[in-house]
């Protein structure tokens, strides 16, 4: 029987909700960590490959392409930060330059770009051109 994890919870395709569990010295500034077992059980996220854009619930939305991208690292038992993600919470780098009071805050994890666009924006540009010129 697979363990049940509270987070991340999928709210719509490739978008998840979680909470901030803490910080890790092992993560780079452009990485977030999530319990690798929670990723496997609750998401289609591929640990150490998938990138995401994040937004805190109480934060004013920024334009999509101005949001910072993070690589999602699967936290395993031997890693620093694992205990901060026992239920699948998000773990930031100790060098996270956001507010120091983010622990426990709800966060939206948007992986749509990683799965649907995959860094090929040509289809997006073409769709925008068609929309603007019609």
CATH class of 9-133: mainly beta
pLDDT at 19: 97
Q: Provide the sign of the torsion angle of the four alpha carbons 71, 59, 44, 76, taken in this order.
A: positive
High-pLDDT (> 70) share of the chain, %: 80
pLDDT the model gives residue 16 = 97
For the entire predicted model, the pTM comes to: 0.81
Rg (the chain; Cα; Å):
16
What are the extents of the domains in the chain? 9-133
Encode pLDDT of 55-109 as tens digits. Answer: 998 888 888 778 889 999 999 999 999 999 999 999 999 988 765 689 999 999 9
**SS3 assignment, position 39:** helix
What is the distance between the alpha carbons of residues 25 and 134, in angstroms, rounded to a whole number? 51
Q: What is the mean pLDDT of the chain?
A: 86
Q: For residue range 15-50, what is the model confidence (pLDDT) as tens digits?
A: 999 999 999 999 999 999 999 999 999 999 999 999
* DSSP assignments along 78-127, one per residue: TSTTGGGGTTS-EEEETT--S-S--TT-EEEEE-HIIIIITT--HHHHHH
pLDDT bucket at 110, cuts 50 / 70 / 90: very high
What is the reported pLDDT for 3? 58
Beta bridge partners of 91: 22, 33
Q: What is the C-alpha separation between 129 and 54, in angstroms, rounded? A: 27
How many other C-beta atoms are found inside a 10 Å radius of the C-beta of residue 101? 8
Residue 122 reports pLDDT greater than 80: no
Contact 34, 74 (CB under 8 A): yes
pLDDT of residue 1 exceeding 50? no
Q: Which of 132, 18, 34, 42 is nearest to 86 (CA)?
A: 34
Q: What is the pLDDT of residue 97?
A: 77
């Amino acid at each position: 029987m697979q363990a049940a994890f509270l987070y991340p919870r999928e709210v719509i395709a490739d978008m998840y909700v979680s909470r901030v569990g803490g910080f890790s010295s092992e993560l780079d500034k452009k990485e977030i960590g999530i319990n690798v077992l929670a990723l496997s059980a609750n998401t289609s996220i591929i640990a150490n490959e998938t990138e995401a854009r994040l937004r805190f619930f109480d934060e004013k939305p920024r334009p999509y392409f101005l949001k910072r991208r993070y690589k999602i690292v699967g936290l395993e038992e031997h890693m620093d930060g694992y205990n901060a993600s026992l239920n699948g919470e998000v773990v930031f780098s100790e060098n996270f330059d956001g507010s120091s009071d983010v622990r426990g805050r709800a966060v939206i994890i948007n992986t749509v770009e990683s799965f649907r666009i995959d860094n090929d924006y040509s289809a997006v540009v073409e769709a925008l051109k068609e929309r603007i010129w019609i």
